[in-house]
Amino acid sequence: MKILIADDNEMNRSLMFALLQRNGYEVLEAADGAQAVKFAKEHIPDLIIMDIQMPVLDGVTALRMLRADESTKTMPVIAITSYAMKGDREKFLKAGFDSYISKPINTKEVISMIEQYIKK
């Protein structure tokens, strides 16, 4: 299974990369929303884990672009964000994300969530 991590914070990407690779996933990395959209179209990952606050294109705008493209519109995209206020989860799900993870990440939660998408 191929997973694209889109996060502008190199430390966060490295942590996710190590976690996912250790669990047997092929991992691609994007440092901003525009790069995430480009890589999603080029590499067709099975799942995208996308930060909300990124340069060039934020996660919500990048998601809109993915949903508007025939080749990427059904790709599962999980929002990952430091926004953890009441109502944020619902806001991101309403924006079209398939799920939501708040930072700091719980590694067991991330793997459990990914496994749900593998089974689909």
Domain boundary assignment for the chain: 2-119
As a whole number of angstroms, the distance between CA 112 and CA 16 comes to 14
Q: Taking the chain, what is the end-to-end CA distance rounded to the nearest angstrom?
A: 12
pLDDT number for residue 22: 96
Task: Kindly give the confidence (pLDDT) of every residue in the chain, 120 residues in length, as a single tens digit, with 9 standing for 90 and above.
Answer: 999 999 999 999 999 999 999 999 999 999 999 999 999 999 999 999 999 999 999 999 999 999 999 999 999 999 998 766 677 778 888 999 999 888 888 899 899 989 987 765
pLDDT reported for residue 104 = 84
Calculate what percentage of the chain has a pLDDT beyond 90.
Answer: 76
Q: Which fold has domain 2-119?
A: Rossmann fold (3.40.50)
